[in-house]
């Protein structure tokens, strides 16, 4: 799960480089993207990520029930770029970089433009485990890291 690209199975392309060339994200050609194991934006995480809204919480703006993300900085629940883009707008308005998808429990850093491995990054494990427990009613399976 940590290595899945989330809602899209198509390869993702980065914006053009200075030379005007586009770079494919590592693993993108096979339909998945390798999640990063570090991020410079972890200092913006909320102090208490063990008390979070439930995965069935609708978007706080449009009330859409699906494809919602949890802001890991302020704990607001907002819909994805595939619905009404409220989480993306939230990032642009607040610079809150980190969000957890309630669809597949992946973690995205908007500033890094990358998925993060929530099972490997120590600071993300508590929110991943809490979200998993709330979504599935049991602790996540152990993974050798």
Domain ranges of the chain: 42-136
pLDDT at 42: 97
pLDDT at 32: 73
- pTM for the complete prediction? 0.77
pLDDT in tens, 84-95: 999 999 999 999
Rounded to whole angstroms, the Cα distance separating 103 from 20 reads 34
- Average pLDDT of the chain to the nearest whole number: 84
pLDDT in tens, 57-100: 999 999 999 999 999 999 999 999 999 999 999 999 999 999 99
Topology of 42-136 in CATH? Answer: Herpes Virus-1 (3.30.40)
pLDDT at 145: 58
pLDDT in tens, 134-145: 999 999 988 765
How many helices, marked H, and strands, marked E, lie in the chain? 2, 5
Q: Which of 18, 8, 39, 81 is nearest to 68 (CA)?
A: 81
Neighbours of 22 (CB within 10 A): 9
Asked if 33 and 5 touch (Cβ cutoff 8 Å), the reply is yes
């Amino acid at each position: 799960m940590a290595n899945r690209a989330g809602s899209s199975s198509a390869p993702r392309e980065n914006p053009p480089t200075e030379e005007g060339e586009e770079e494919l994200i590592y693993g993108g050609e096979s339909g998945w993207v390798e999640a990063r194991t570090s991020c410079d934006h972890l200092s913006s995480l909320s102090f208490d990520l063990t008390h979070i809204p439930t995965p069935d919480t609708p978007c706080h703006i449009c009330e859409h029930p699906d494809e919602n993300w949890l802001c890991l900085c302020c704990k607001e629940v907002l819909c994805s770029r595939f619905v009404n883009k409220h989480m993306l707008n939230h990032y642009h308005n607040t610079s809150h970089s980190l969000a957890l998808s309630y669809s597949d429990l992946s973690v995205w850093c908007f500033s890094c433009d990358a998925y993060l491995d929530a099972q490997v990054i120590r600071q993300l494990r508590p929110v991943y485990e809490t979200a998993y427990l709330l979504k599935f009613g049991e602790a996540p399976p152990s993974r050798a890291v």
